[in-house]
Structure 1
């Protein structure tokens, strides 16, 4: 029989999931999917403090915890300081077994996630909960070896950037905090969205004695190997645009060949550079295509019915606004100018940018690039007819060549499903898992790689047909 606290936790998770749901980078033929991997790692290069009119400031204390660099060996290696944010203002305390709300930090600065995870903060006072936001190793200020430059130097220093090590960080942090606070009886509830949602679900499976349950929002734990069709992500993005305007969808679909043809003309790259207001001349049309694909995909992930600064300053219903701009261009407007007018909704909605830097990672080697080149091998593809994106098949060889060149490593496409499961996931979750809620809105392109059906009485899928459940929670 469920205890009153278990019932309370279930109500918390149900409320958060329901509210979140309702609130709401191409060559032709062959292309590496590493660029697409960066969609999930959209926070990896965020170094700035969260700011903007829509950013809520929550109260917390910043602390640091000394972590082992390698939890799975006894080699003498340097430790590092893991940053975490904590709020105990409303905590009921150990004598009353006050719960702990623990957000599984994603691939970026933890202060940014704390500022965009409002429901955890808002519900904590009602349940007397402590709130903890730990930072993922190798992101934000939680850098091994003392600096980002050294930590990201090569495959040897990056080798400890894995999801397994990150989960062990979380488990040890929770255990030590509870011990220091004499709060061993305080139950822990995990939260997370996107990659953080994957970590929340995996941590509940790997460390069931550490946390009693997890809310995994927009968590594509099945976006590996051949578990879901590789074209799923781009199909969902495309449907979001087609739903708003078929003419807008067709304009975008036709633009890729037009861009490739223009790039073959004398002075074509110069003209495209000028039309799209880039700060320096395009080196290839592939760079432009990747830039556009990123914008469309990010818009699908942040297509909220209210203004937000989540990734960029955006209006309410940004896909609708992009399509309105494309469709309302006067007759005779070139397809390039139409596309530019539309994509500025993402890249320059405030109108303050004079020119665009097409490479948002000028120094290369972001943390998520490494993760995508090692264990986070997510196949992507785009099919003719269903997708507005250029047609290409998933090509592991292209990924391998990229990763060998970038990091001198080969991806392990079967490791995640070996470590955490994936094939026959329903039977595995039903047999070995419990107390996980997978929250998804079907407008979110990551929903296609998540769990969309109830697996058991305690592994529940909350799905909103017209909902968006990408971060923020």
Structure 2
């Protein structure tokens, strides 16, 4: 519940705020279990049973699991400096899980070897172009994002109230104005790239025409 609420903490409900408000207003103020229950009810509704029901795994979720096993190994663990139970990252255990589910052995260094991620700014300055790094700063993953422009065509767009992938989700009538403007800005940037591409292509074709026999 925490991971889902924190990662997708987007309007109009802002689930983290909703859960925290419920915890703060719990009937028995000093009862930790009651506070937890109040947060769960605020997020999932006041059902009679809180046991997680079986879920149909979507292609997106299954695809992400495959990608983290085959290409993007993300070594996330929980240390002693967290409110959660200590759960250090264990590559051997992770690899065994990937073998069991997909029959593949993770390559933990493949993505940084192939794309060069040890110094992303240096790497992208040398070969990258036409990239927008969109960061919703409410998303915990944003701490590892590219938060500053790298070049004129490698651009970081940060939104204080944004969350994980919010700008690429379907537009809704309840979308706040800042989100509408963010999508508009990103669209205008991409239109500019496309316009420039066709202008460059036309100029190249004209050059070939002038010098062709």
1:394 matched to which residue of 2?
89
Q: Secondary structure at the match of 1:468?
A: coil
- Taking structure 1 as reference, are residues 449 and 358 closer, same or farther at Cα in structure 2, changes over 3 Å only? farther
Quote how far apart the aligned CAs of 1:397 are. 1.1
TM-score (norm: length of structure 1): 0.32
Q: Residues 358 and 337 of structure 1: is their aligned pair in 2 closer, same or farther, counting only changes over 3 Å?
A: farther
How far 1:410 sits from its partner (Å)?
Answer: 1.1
| Residue 332 of structure 1: how far off its partner (Å) | 6.8
1:371 to partner: Cα distance: 2.2
Total equivalences in the alignment: 165
Does the alignment pair 1:408 with 2:114? no
2:19 matched to which residue of 1? Answer: 322
Which residue is 1:302 aligned to? 8
| Gapped regions of structure 2 (runs ≥ 5) | 168-213
| Alpha-carbon displacement from aligned partner over 1:83-136 (angstroms, at most 9, x marks no partner) | xxxxxxxxxxxxxxxxxxxxxxxxxxxxxxxxxxxxxxxxxxxxxxxxxxxxxx
1:361 to partner: Cα distance:
5.1
Tell me: higher relative CO, structure 1 or 2? Use CA pairs within 8 A at least 6 residues apart.
Answer: 1
Q: Equivalences for 1:231-242 in 2 at 5 Å? A: none
**Residue 459 of structure 1, aligned match among 154, 163, 167:** 154
Counterpart residue number, 1:345:
42
CA distance in 1, matches of 2:75, 2:53: 24
Q: Is residue 430 of structure 1 aligned with residue 136 of structure 2?
A: no
Corresponding position: 1:379 with 2:75: yes
Q: Distance in 1 between matches of 2:166 and 2:135?
A: 12
TM-score where L is the length of structure 2: 0.66
Following the alignment from structure 1 to structure 2, what is the Cα–Cα distance between the partners of residues 362 and 471?
Answer: 19
Which runs of 4 or more aligned residues in structure 1 lie more than 6 Å from their structure 2 counterparts after TM superposition? none
Q: How many angstroms apart in 1 are the aligned matches of 2:128 and 2:134?
A: 16
Q: Deviations over 1:208-246 (max 9, x none)?
A: xxxxxxxxxxxxxxxxxxxxxxxxxxxxxxxxxxxxxxx
C-alpha spacing 1:392/1:441, structure 2 compared with 1 (3 Å): same
Higher strand share: 1
* Correspondence 1:141-160 to 2 at 5 A: none
- The answer to whether the 8 Å contact 2:28/2:34 transfers is no
Residues 28 and 35 in structure 2, CA contact (< 8 A), matched pair in contact too: no
Name the residue aligned to 2:164.
470
Aligned to 2:180: none
Does the 8 Å CA contact 1:326/1:342 hold for their aligned counterparts?
yes
Structure 1: unaligned runs, 5 residues or longer: 1-294, 307-315
